[in-house]
Structure formats: structure tokens, C-alpha cells
Amino acid sequence: MRMEQPQFQLMDEDQLSVELIDAQYNLKKTRGQKNAKSLVILVNGIELAGKGEAVKQLREWVDPRYLRVKADKPQLAGPKQTLWQPYARFIPAEGQIMVLFGNWYSDLLGSAMQAESPLSDAQFDEYLQEMQAFEQDLKNNHVDVIKVWFDLSWKVLQKRLDAMDPSETHWHQLHGLDWRNRKEYDTLQRLRQRFTEDWFIIDGEDEQQRDQQFAQYILSALKHCPDHPARAKGRWKQAKIPEQLKHPSKTQAQPEDYKPELKKLTAKVAKAMRSDSRNVVILFEGMDAAGKGGAIKRIVKKLDPREYEIHTIAAPEKYELSRPYLWRFWTKLQTDDDICIFDRSWYGRVLVERVEGFSSPVEWQRAYDEINRFEQSLVKHQTVIVKIWLAISKEEQAARFKAREDTPHKRFKITEEDWRNRERWDDYLKAAADMFEHTSTEEAPWHIIASDDKHTARVEVLKAILKQLQAE
């Protein structure tokens, strides 16, 4: 549905500035509050329509210290990342404002219009759906995304090109287009009409009207800081707990078979991951002392340290808490990290944060869909995801805790919190059951591996990786 375009009347500039600064500081004060939000402003449009001038004027009307602006040349779509991924690290924290000149829409248009291999309509729409889903996840996590298109008629554009100082031409290479080429101009207009239904469209011909419309639109967004819902709708239906979690297999590997098989599988896994052109993400979840560290050690045994990255995930830092939950994972996955291993992962929101009450029911119930969309985006862009849950019995965990306390070089692994978490054992099983029910997909299924016997678990972990890589 096309957004109804807001109407603004010219204001006294001093009054407009006062209101903008007040709203800017009120937004800053929301940090950590129940109405907290940040603001991302996506700026796109026809060249010479006055995008830069409008942002420059906005900076003069607000406190410029608290208005960040980022401008990048368009990047062409690559096979191994979504269009939004390079910009994830620039998503502002609560109370902050970020203007993105170069953004995922610039990249989409640039990729669609490149002469050598332009995007098809189907590819264009697929990227568009991913981007819009990402924006919705931002909004759900209190990042207000507003989008402004600065438009200019063909006739006015040509007049401005005629009057432009030749020294400024290097600033006007958006999309690498020839702005004298009517066909390219018409193509760009046709493409943008496919996604600007929810954009504020500004006619850039009248400079005063342009700058005020932009500033007043931003002002209206700054003033809108509603309280976030804390209660989920409806009653949550608990999934059935799998038997593998309640009663993990106690099958033991034969000592004479274990080492030869482990040696064979570690070499096979290393070769499979090296030879696979896709990125590989392996993540571990499970109860404390289930053997995640030992399993990871065997995965990387035959790999060069430069070939992989291991992320050990703990409670989020303060600066991470002020951004969308998935932000700290978006920013950890880069296209040049071919192999990433996560000791704990983004599933913390639906596990420990749910059980311990660190996230509201609204947040953790919404997270299943957010996680699925995130993983689907990774899979679409040549990433294999291997999700492993190491299942341990309560009795075996207690025995391992006691062994750690009795072993000097392992005492650092056990804390009072580990013992306390055992009191919530059943709650964690329920959370895990829901997690399997809602996030085990065809592209990224969960592998539940019994770990009462460490040797058996390590072998099965390697087999699961090979299975997911289709390299069995």
C-alpha cells in the first residue's frame, strides 16, 4: 500500500531548529527507557536533486554532534552476502541518529543497472524482499527506519547539469549513470517505483521547500517514541520435549575404534570445508559441560588457524544491548571468514534470556522468526549452517562439575552460576524443545547429539558436519 505523503507548511527556521534540537535531545534521553529507539534515515534519489544540500541544512538546524552521516559509493551485489550486511555495523544505538547516503537501495539500483550483468526482475524482487524483511526486524527492535527519495524531473535535471561547475562532477557518479541519457534516467525511475511506496518523496526543484520538507519529516519521526509492548498476544503453546533431551543415549565408543575413526573424520571434515566454495557456520548449544569445547577442538585439529574464526558468546556488552539483538551476530559474519564456529550463538535469546527473564515474552517469541530470516539470508548467499545441540543427562553433568572442581587446571570452568543453572534444568529443556520446533528448517536443521560419552559425541559431531556439507 502506497504511503500517504505527509504535507508540511513552511516554518520559521529558528523555530524549526529549536523543535529539532528539542526532539533530538529527547530521543537521546530515551536510551535504556521503555520508549527507547534509534533512527536510521535512508537517503536516495536523482542526482542533483539536493540530497546533500538537504542533509547539510539539517545539520545546521540540529546539534551536529549527534547526527551521524555516512556516504559510500554503491557496491554491487555479491554472491556471499546480502545487500544490507555491509551496513549492519552502522546501525545506531538507542538515542542515536544515522543518515545513510550509500545504503542497500543504492546498491540494489547499482546492481540492477550495471551494463555487464544487470539483475533480472526476479533477482531484483528477491533482494528487495530480503531488505524489507531486514528493515522490519530493525523496526521490531526499536530502530525506526525512514526512507526519503529526492526526485527531480528530466528537464530540471538537464538544466542543473548545464549549470554545474565542472570541478564538482566527481561527486555525481551515483550508480555510474550517464545523467544525460534519458533511457537510463527512465529506467532508474521505473525501478525505484517498485519499492518507494513507503517512502517520502520530495521534489527537489524548490530548494527551500525541499530542505524544510526533509527536516520536518525527520522532526515528526523524532517526536514519535511510543512505549514498546511488553506482553505477548495469546498463550504460548509449549512444544513436546524430545526424548533425546530427557534421556540422552549412553552408547559408548569402543576404545580401539575411537582414535582411528576420529583421525579419519577430522581429516575428512577439514578437506570438505576447505574445498567447499561456500562459507561454513557451525554453532553449538547445549547444557553446561556437555563437551562443546572438546568437540570444537577436534573440528579445527586439521585446519590452519588462519582458516577459521571461533566466537565464544557470553552475555551481551552494554553497547550491544542498545542495538537490535542480532546486531552483534550480523557484525561478526563477514564474507572473508570462510569458516566460523560459535560456542553459544544467537539462540541465547530463546534459551538463557528466555529462561532467566532477560528478554520479555514479546522479544523471545518474536525471535524465532527473526532468527529464521537471518539464517535463510545466509543460506541464500552461499553459507552452510550446521546447528548442533549437545545433549547431556543431569547425572552426567553433575559428575563433570564435580570432576572440574577436583581438577586444579579445570577449576576455572566451574562457577556458582553453573550449579545454580541446574535448578532451571526443566525450564531449559522446555526452551530447547520450542527452539527445535520453531527453528529446525530444511536448510538449517538441528542435530541433537548425545554427549554422555564424549568420544561418541565428538565422532557424531564430525559426521553431522559432513552430512550438512553433503560430503559424507
Q: What is the pLDDT of residues 249-259, one digit of tens each?
A: 999 999 899 99
H or E element in which residue 309 lies = strand 308-312
Q: Using alpha carbons only, give the angle 251, 252, 257 rounded to the nearest 5 degrees.
A: 130
Q: Within 10 A of 202 (CB to CB), how many other CB atoms are there?
A: 26
Confidence of residue 23 (pLDDT cuts 50, 70, 90): very high
By DSSP bridging, strand 339-343 and strand 38-45 are unpaired
pTM value is 0.92
pLDDT at site 295 = 97
Question: Tens digits of per-residue pLDDT, 313-354?
Answer: 999 999 999 999 999 999 999 776 689 999 999 999 999 999
Q: Helical H runs in 43-103?
A: 51-61
Confidence of residue 32 (pLDDT cuts 50, 70, 90): very high
pLDDT at site 471 = 63
Question: Tens digits of per-residue pLDDT, 83-132?
Answer: 999 999 999 999 999 999 989 999 999 999 886 778 889 999 999 999 99
Paired with 149 in beta bridges are: 44, 201
In the block, residue with C-alpha cell 573424520: 265
Task: List where CATH 3.40.50.300 sits in the chain.
Answer: 13-223, 243-468
Question: Tens digits of per-residue pLDDT, 76-87?
Answer: 888 888 999 999
> Nearest 5°: phi and psi at 250?
-110, 15
pLDDT at site 433 = 98
Question: Tens digits of per-residue pLDDT, 139-148?
Answer: 999 999 999 9
CATH 1.20.1250.20 fits 243-468, yes or no: no
Maximum pairwise Cα distance, the chain = 85
pLDDT at site 115 = 66
Domain 13-223 class?
A: alpha beta
pLDDT at site 170 = 59
Question: Tens digits of per-residue pLDDT, 416-450?
Answer: 888 888 999 999 999 999 999 999 999 999 999 99
pLDDT over 60 at 472, yes or no: no
Question: Tens digits of per-residue pLDDT, 163-213?
Answer: 887 766 655 555 567 888 999 999 999 999 999 999 999 999 999 999 999
